[in-house]
Amino acid sequence: MRITDIIYKKRSGKALSPEEIEFFIRGYVKDEIPDYQISALLMAIWFQGMNKEETIALTHSMVRSGERIDLSDIPGIKADKHSTGGVSDTTTLIVAPVVAACGGKVAKISGRGLGHTGGTLDKLESIPGLSTGQTMERFKEIVSKCGCAVVGATADLVPADKKLYALRDVTVTIDNLSLIASSVMSKKIAAGCDVIVLDVKTGNGAFMKDPALAVELAQLMVEIGKSSGKKTSALITDMNQPLGNAVGNALEVEEAIRVLSGEEDGDLKKVSLALASRMLVSAGLHASVGEAETKLEEVLANGRALETFACMIEAQGGSPDVVENTKLLPQAEKKVTVTAENSGYIYEINAFDIGLSAMLLGAGRGKKEDTIDPAVGIWMKKRYAEEVEKGEELAVFHVNQEKNLDEAIYKFKKAITISGEKPQPRDLIYSSVE
């Protein structure tokens, strides 16, 4: 078997066999096939696509490229979630403890952010003392004790994805459904959970701008999960504005704590509970989504969800006192208020540009080696379709370095469209794939 023949076959629009896919994945991970040939193959895949069978075979080959985590010594059904990413997407910090408070087990291996704000690990690490670099044994101990834990991936988990993703990034082949689906699902399958719930974002702040493509991606990932014996489901959710009000790492932790303490409703809570309810149903802990949502509201009201989050924080080395006093989180030196320049309705919010504005403050990374400032970010005061008066607060910027402040404010203001016409209501959850 030769890689040149495989490249030619895919370039010609033909389907690759599982053996051919295994050959190029194994050869690339072992450095037996050079980058330039895999780059050519990725571009052929981007142009010609892959069918469902090829995509499933690619995912399983990627899983076999490294270690698979065995969670069988944790009692009960283990669950995981994945979001395709967006702005103020803090759902993991809510879903994990609420599901655990209802008797579930959430064993989540997560990642860091590139662009916008930080990823889930960056958000959690804004909590003083908390470490996401736990050993697998300690990870399993925390899940068994608290019902949930969130840690970073080991270097041996799906090494094929790390190599392929880096190459896709520099060859502009990121946005192919099969390559996206195999990247996401190989890591979820290798992480060892029984249940996978996916949150596929769509809108101006999401990777998938087109709702139809988001549905197609969700369906493909659910098929891959089922092919591995995983109970997999997905929600397609809106990302035409930041999901929550906080955009920034410590600020997003604070907002998650407000939701967990029952102090805050809104879109972030609604999506989080929708994901959590499906997780509980898939794990067999509740018979219906409605029944699960009732239980979730109960653990928010009685404080059990917040206690569970505190348990996880403490078990991972952090200060559990933050759940009672969010002032213990990193605080910015300065707060700058941004106000509306005219009256009307919030007609449009460009979530992507809001994320870039927060990144200019230091809340995200432009390059992998950039350092995140956990204290900085933006707290939104107005949301889509709300009425606003001239001079009224649109947001509060939490600032440490003023170097890029003017640019950040300019970008933020350009991201908000105020109109005399009230916009039509928009769905928060478009559909589901069960």
389: Cβ–Cβ under 8 A, 6 or more apart, which residues? Answer: 340, 343
Q: Report d(CA 281, CA 345) in Å as an integer.
A: 39
Q: Report d(CA 362, CA 121) in Å as an integer.
A: 16
Q: Which of 183, 186, 272, 277 is catalytic?
A: 183
Token output for 79: 């669950």
Q: Which of 80, 122, 161, 199 is catalytic?
A: 161
Q: CB–CB of 312/98 below 8 Å?
A: no
Strands 246-247 and 377-380: antiparallel
* Residue 289: CA count within 13 A, CB half-sphere: 12
Decide if 161 is catalytic: yes
Q: Which of 10, 78, 81, 82 is catalytic?
A: 82
Decide if 228 is catalytic: no
- Residue with the two structure tokens 């101990």: 141
Tell me how far CA of residue 368 lies from CA of 55, 113, 119, 195, in angstroms. Answer: 28, 9, 12, 30
Decide if 398 is catalytic: no
Q: Which of 10, 81, 187, 295 is catalytic?
A: 187
Q: CB–CB of 69/108 below 8 Å?
A: no
Decide if 187 is catalytic: yes
Q: Which of 60, 168, 201, 278 is catalytic?
A: 168
Amino acid sitting at position 49: G
Residues designated catalytic: 82, 161, 168, 183, 187
